[in-house]
Chains A and B, each alone.
Chain A
Amino acid sequence: MIGLAGSKADPVMVHTAAHCVRHEVPFAVIDLVDTASRGSWSLTVPPDAGDHVSGDEEVRLAELSGIYVRAIRLGDDTGAHRWRGLVDGFTAWLGERPIPVVNPPGAHVLNSYKPAHYAWLAERGLAVPASLVTARARDAADFLAGGRAVVKPLCGTRATTRELDLERLEGRDDLGGPVMVQRLVQGDDVRAHVIGGEVIACRFRSDQIDYRSDRSAERCVTRLPDDLAHRLTTLSAEQGLVFAGWDFKVDADEEYWVLECNPMPGYSFYDRVADGAIAAALVRYLRG
């Protein structure tokens, strides 16, 4: 039996559970949000046979072959201390896990600090678009003079990518805080999911800057160049990640420009394009 640890309100967890139901994979739900608010738990580090988490259902952790974790806290700060106590214990327990965990604690956290993340990716030989972090409007305008650019969050928060518009910079001295602008690469988008040694990629063609906002974007499963696929599995492992979502732009010369490596990919949208192949690979890994 595999464990799904997260929230029942998370569409990605629902998608994973639905896959398990369709394919008759035994699973237990560890609803961390419900457990933190009204459940109970007893966790030992190093792990003990009696360790359990009880939310809507009681889960004996020793009975699990693997655990998929998406510890996303939803709602307000009510009961924040209970959430912290549960997640501290659960994370420490996972760190000493005797079973496969997706993703194990202790993996890289650089994705939430994009400039450092880009530097890490570039150091390892991937093509990364030029970028600038600045709070000065003039610096951003100078960057824009070198070619089209997009504005992206520096932290890990998901946001729709927007093109930088010179008119928005005119007449301003400062931008009100640090802003990251990145050279726009025109071309198709590719999202590649790495699960252990497997790579499953989807390709999108859209006229919009952010294909995720375009319901009519063309989409298909694609195969990455072998050397790139191999590199992604290696670099995912180097970051301590079993499951990662890599985003690329592919230019007219078929060069792959990396945009980020997501350590907790919301994969359900891409799994529909891939006809369930990502969930199948994930479950395969968790079943050991």
Chain B
Amino acid sequence: MTGGDVVAVAVLAHATSQQRLAGALLDAAAAAGMSLDLRTMSELATETGIRQEPGRPPSVDPDRPMIWLAVGDHAADDPDERFAQAESYAAARSIAILTRSPVLNRPTSFGSQGTLPMSATAALRGLTPRLRDRVRTEHFTSHAAPVDGEEQEVLDYATGRRSRAYHDGAGPFRSRPAAGRTAWITVAGSRTFGPDVADLHDASRQVAASFGLGLAHVWWACPPDTDATVSRVDAWAWDAALGARVDDVARSLVAWCADPAEARS
């Protein structure tokens, strides 16, 4: 199959929080001679049917290769609108699960993207034993709980801010011992992006694959004197998360769609 034969769909908030990625995907698809449709979850749910009959596998129509980049809508204030959002999301996620064509970051029984758990802590503790052994102890508190003589990584739930100390935030907090500088590797299809740190690109690919992800960000803590350890795994694909990597990521995702062999890997 060549790029020109593929009619694929990317599911994302193409008019809002993923607008830049959407544009980059269209540019990459045009350059590859590929036909790529952009759909929000609601649009996908409205134009796609799912039929299930006893004794037969479910049928999704249309069934096409999909790049599942859905990050969820901001919850509406109105209860009826919120229900409509939930219905569209349930339909879209089911479509992504049941589509027979390749789906990048296909949701599963456990997660909205691959098997990556909703809980960031659970994601780390779900790593392979070799990596999990080095995952740091985490502490969840309603109040600031600094440890004498220890630098900590702190997430303040009140502000969403991550820092290396408790500041004036109201909390609650999630904290763990700091462990050196951070390296951020993005896995997109068969390519990886990020600083050139020994072995981290291959290791990030393995982490992404272990959660069934074709697009993932793997954050490593790199102590000066020991091996790097995974500090965070996510599959966020909104513009703010991708930053300057958006064009490279878009090209890799389009290449993923155009190459069925890679899509199945």
Contact = CB atoms under 8 A, between A and B. Distances in A.
A177 B84 CA distance: 8
Contact of A178 (B46, B119, B143, B171): B46
Contact of B83 (A116, A132, A157): A157
Contacts of A180: 91
Nearest to A42: B141
Interface residues of B, number: 49
A268 interface: no
A44 B175 CA distance: 10
A239 interface: yes
* Interface residues of chain B: helix, strand, loop or mixed (majority): mixed
Contact of B110 (A93, A109, A112, A114): A109
Nearest to A86: B172
Interface string B108-145: 01110000010111100100000000000111111101
Interface string B132-174: 0000011111110100000000000110000000000001111
B174 A178 contact: no
Given A113-B97, A177-B46, A85 B173 contact: yes
Interface string B64-104: 00000000000000000001101111110111011000000
A185 B51 CA distance: 17
A181 B53 CA distance: 12
23 contacts: A40-B142, A41-B141, A81-B157, A81-B172, A82-B158, A82-B171, A86-B140, A86-B172, A92-B121, A92-B140, A106-B110, A113-B93, A113-B97, A115-B90, A116-B94, A127-B54, A132-B52, A133-B50, A135-B47, A154-B86, A154-B90, A155-B89, A177-B46
Interface pairs A-B: 10 shortest CB-CB: A89-B140, A85-B172, A115-B94, A92-B121, A154-B90, A178-B91, A85-B157, A155-B90, A133-B50, A155-B86
Given A42-B145, A82-B172, A157-B83, 12 more contacts: A44-B139, A82-B157, A91-B119, A105-B122, A113-B93, A115-B50, A116-B94, A122-B54, A131-B50, A153-B90, A177-B42, A178-B45
